Amino acid sequence: MKITFLGTSGSTISINRNNPSILIDSTLLMDVGEGATRSLKKLNIDFHSIKRILISHTHLDHIGGIGSLIWSMWIDYNRNEPLEIFCPIEGENIIISFLRITGTPFERLPFELVFKELEGGEKFDCIQTVKTNHPLPCIAYRINKKSSCCYSGDTSPSEKIAQLSKKCDVLIHEAVFPNDMVDLAHKLGHSTPYDAGVIAKKADVKKLVLFHYANIFEGNEKKLIEQAKTSFDGEILVAKDLWSINL
């Protein structure tokens, strides 16, 4: 499995980082934050190869790039294969409305968007899901191929995510707030690096990748690792845009 980070930023993009988006091999996308399409182009990914998108939830930082991606598939790649979009309950309506009000001409779009809404708790193909702790429906995903990875989506610390990611090779966990803002983090349905480490330890994962971290840590990633080390003594990595892990 090859995991490529197309965007890793906090709630806002920065000079160096796009909003959250992860590419698995070249077939599956998890979240499509603003800037994901440009990252795919920089990496020379053939847009025809992307078969399925897994959306964690419909906050702007996780779906803000979906219009750009769909327009690019249509205009730059002449796509005519259907595109599967998996999302939480109510996600189809929100994503279609977002595309419609921003002018996507569905009658001229040469490929079909095939939606499937998830509640959390599903198992299909190589994918398992759970519902996370966030103010609106949000899904964490585990992908099991020859190796395994789990993506937390946005969440405060979650026992369900610890179970979902049990013994997986890579846990990609959000760390939106620094350790000293833990109360606000939990109130808003988010985690700190310490929290991500607690889940990694409970799940006994091989590697923890800190993801969707605050832009104040940019250039100071060591600090982020130090904060997660207080709860997890395994391998800790910090995701950066255009960076890949081969498993």
Asked if 147 and 139 touch (Cβ cutoff 8 Å), the reply is: no
Round to whole Å and give the CA distance between 193 and 196: 5
Our finding on whether 61 is near Zn ion (CB under 5 A) is yes
Which residues inside 155-214 make contact with Zn ion, applying CB under 5 A?
none
Nearer to Zn ion, 148 or 192 (CB): 192
Residue 112 Cβ vs Zn ion, minimum distance, rounded to whole Å: 28
Nearer to Zn ion, 154 or 169 (CB): 154
Site string for Zn ion, 214-243 (x = CB under 5 A): ------------------------------
Q: Which of 64, 65, 71 is nearest to 47 (CA)?
A: 71
Round to whole Å and give the CA distance between 36 and 21: 6
Residue 60 Cβ vs Zn ion, minimum distance, rounded to whole Å: 8
Interface region with Zn ion, contact rule CB under 5 A, candidates 42-50, 54-62, 132-140, 165-173: 54-62
Quick one: three-class SS letters along 214-236? CHHHCCCHHHHHHHHHCCCCCEE
Round to whole Å and give the CA distance between 121 and 221: 33
Our finding on whether 92 is near Zn ion (CB under 5 A) is no
- Dihedral angle computed from the Cα positions of residues 127, 239, 91 and 29, in that order, rounded to the nearest 10 degrees: -60
Interface region with Zn ion, contact rule CB under 5 A, candidates 39-47, 58-66, 68-76, 162-170: 58-66
> Where do the H-state alpha helices sit in the chain?
36-42, 60-63, 66-75, 91-101, 159-164, 182-187, 193-203, 221-229
Our finding on whether 34 is near Zn ion (CB under 5 A) is no
Ramachandran quadrant class, 231 (left: phi over 0; alpha: psi -120 to 50; beta: rest): alpha
How many whole angstroms from its chain centre is CA 203?
19
Residue 67 Cβ vs Zn ion, minimum distance, rounded to whole Å: 18
Nearer to Zn ion, 74 or 213 (CB): 213
Interface region with Zn ion, contact rule CB under 5 A, candidates 59-67, 83-91, 116-124, 216-224: 59-67
Our finding on whether 31 is near Zn ion (CB under 5 A) is no
Residue 8 Cβ vs Zn ion, minimum distance, rounded to whole Å: 11
Q: Which residues pair with 84 in a beta bridge?
A: 52, 114
# binding residues, Zn ion (CB under 5 A): 2
Our finding on whether 154 is near Zn ion (CB under 5 A) is yes
Nearer to Zn ion, 74 or 86 (CB): 86
Asked if 36 and 21 touch (Cβ cutoff 8 Å), the reply is: yes
Q: Which two tokens stand for residue 17?
A: 């980082």
Nearer to Zn ion, 26 or 178 (CB): 178
Interface region with Zn ion, contact rule CB under 5 A, candidates 39-47, 61-69, 76-84, 193-201: 61-69
Residue ranges that bind Zn ion, judged by CB under 5 A: 61, 154
